[in-house]
Amino acid sequence: MPKSKRLLELMLTVNRKRKFTAGELAQEFGVSTRTILRDLQELSELGVPLYSEVGPHGGYQVLKERILPPIAFTEEEAVAIFFAIHALRHYSSLPFSAEASSALKKFYQFMPQDVRDRIEQMRNRVDFITPTRQASSPYLLVLLNAAIQQNVILIDYVSKDKRATRHIQPIGIYTRNGLWYCRAYCFQNDDIRVFRCDRIHSGVPSDTKPRDLWHMHLGNSPSHPIEEQEQLALFAELNKAGVQACEAEPGLVTQLHIREDGTGWLEGSIAKKDELYFAKFFVGVGKDVTVKHPPELLDCIKSYLTELSCHYSFS
């Protein structure tokens, strides 16, 4: 077997095995132990993170930050991946900010010159606009890992009116309009809550026993408390612009119905505690939406409009 092919297969093998001895590899590849030792040295110099242990139970291990085997991409796939990572530059915080920057640099460095030239022509002609936020969210990776492993963490959280510690079990994190949010089970409130990640000032492991929430993820977890709460029946008419506005609101998109002409309506329910939030949303949409009921929401909209009128009144 040619050396280049043996090195490639050896890289795939050590990534798969994670722990092995030189003798085991020599037998598997049909070469001497000395040859395998030289090959392992070359892999180490190429960046494969190998760690050796001496003694009767020694051998080699691949460190946790192992290198993935080579993957062949088409030119179009390479350009697509480059721009997917490039689009993240608008975010001040990312779960893997340093890694994304490193991956982009490596990807670009090893592209053929003609592909680089094509990207240079495209990079200022394709963009994914996201509002640039000053708010920093340094605990994104902590929250994401806790969601993946279903661990409970203790956070120091600053809301609009108070600062408190919370034991939460994250379900997932997502970004919207340049801000990061964490949907999590809150043990203090015994329900599902959404936390602004930039308002989390610390996040450490908690001794609290986690709940069995493995079945929950961002696609199926409720945005309202697990325990039943008072709901208000919602119905609103929408013109085409109103439909587009409601398509961007996660709390309403499942209640959106669209007609063939592009107009539509909202039919469903909202939590009474979210009355003011949706009142502000519908005021922002303006005449593109006409809320028919519930009367409680209509009263809340009128009250909010009165406050705005007083705020901007001129004497």
Instruction: Please provide the DSSP assignment of 137-169 as one string.
Output: -TTHHHHHHHHHHT--EEEEEE-SS-EEEEEEE
Lowest mean pLDDT among 156-165, 175-184, 216-225: 216-225
Per-residue pLDDT of 12-48, as tens digits, reads 787 777 678 888 888 888 889 899 888 888 887 777 7
Task: Extract long-range pairs of 58-66: CB within 8 Å, 24+ residues apart.
Answer: 58/21, 59/19, 59/20, 59/21, 59/22, 59/24, 60/14, 60/19, 60/20, 60/21, 60/22, 61/18, 61/19, 62/14, 62/15, 62/17, 62/18, 62/19, 66/15, 66/18
pLDDT bucket at 234, cuts 50 / 70 / 90: very high
Type and span of the H or E element at 114:
helix 113-122
Beta bridge partners of 191: 186
Per-residue pLDDT of 165-181, as tens digits, reads 999 999 999 887 788 89
